[in-house]
Amino acid sequence: MAGDRQAVAVAITGASGAVYATRTLAALLERGLHVELIVSDYGRRLLRDELGEAASVERLVPFLSGRYGTAVSAGSLTLHSNRDLGATIASGSHGCSGMAIVPCSMKTLAAVAHGLSRNLVERAADVMLKEKRRLVIVPRETPMSLPQLRNMVLCAEAGAMILPAMPAFYQQPRTLDDLADFMAGKILSALGFEHTLYPEWTGQVGGR
């Protein structure tokens, strides 16, 4: 908990799909949650490369409210250095209820699979696994090598949810934001939060 707020960790690493991360962050903040954010060096580059300078880490909160609306101010956010292994979320004693790594690079996936804990993303993920809390890993790569597939199995066996960046098309998305909404909704569900980011399946395509 951060004050009265429930805390959730989000890590952004250097796999394609920055918009999945920003939509997830906005949705968590809109719920009034406290977000413990870690961005790897390549995650920082990803934000700028895919969403522009306005989405650089230092400007992320204004970027989120500009793109997704001022409701994001219901929540709060702490940005941690990925080099700070003394951060609160590096310890199981910190009451962070879950963590999403979105998007998750194959490098970070490998590190989580093997419990390396070399930086804060890897350590916070390791804490989630050892404390049996929710860890949602959103990998993005195609095609995948056998080591990458095996690393996903290792993470799943350790208790993580593997939630690939694979938006569906049966909701008839019209924009990139529709695709991002779908992925963010899946991530929120996996973290145990209700949402209305995509319409419930009604049994037929387009049946809204």
Tell me which residues touch ligand FMN (CB under 6 A).
13-16, 40, 42-43, 49, 105-108, 140-141
Q: Which residue has the tokens 């195609």?
A: 142
139 forms beta bridges with: 104
In the complex, the smallest distance separating the C-beta of residue 46 from ligand FMN, rounded to whole angstroms, is 7
In the complex, the smallest distance separating the C-beta of residue 182 from ligand FMN, rounded to whole angstroms, is 18
Please state at what angle helix 18-30 crosses helix 60-68, rounded to 10 degrees.
80
Report the Cα 7 to chain-centroid distance in Å: 13
Residue nearest to ligand FMN (CB): 14
Residue 18 parent element (H or E): helix 18-30
Cβ-based burial of 116 (10 A; exposed 0-12, middle 13-18, buried ≥19):
middle
Given the complex with ligand FMN, which of 14 and 98 has the nearer CB atom? 14
Distances (CA, A) of 119 to 32, 69, 72, 123: 28, 32, 28, 6
In the complex, the smallest distance separating the C-beta of residue 30 from ligand FMN, rounded to whole angstroms, is 26
In the complex, the smallest distance separating the C-beta of residue 40 from ligand FMN, rounded to whole angstroms, is 3
In the complex, the smallest distance separating the C-beta of residue 137 from ligand FMN, rounded to whole angstroms, is 12
Given the complex with ligand FMN, which of 10 and 33 has the nearer CB atom? 10
Given the complex with ligand FMN, which of 40 and 171 has the nearer CB atom? 40
Given the complex with ligand FMN, which of 15 and 33 has the nearer CB atom? 15
Question: b/e for 64-91, b at 16 or more Cβ within 10 A?
Answer: beebbeeebeebbbeebebeeeebbbbe
Given the complex with ligand FMN, which of 142 and 202 has the nearer CB atom? 142
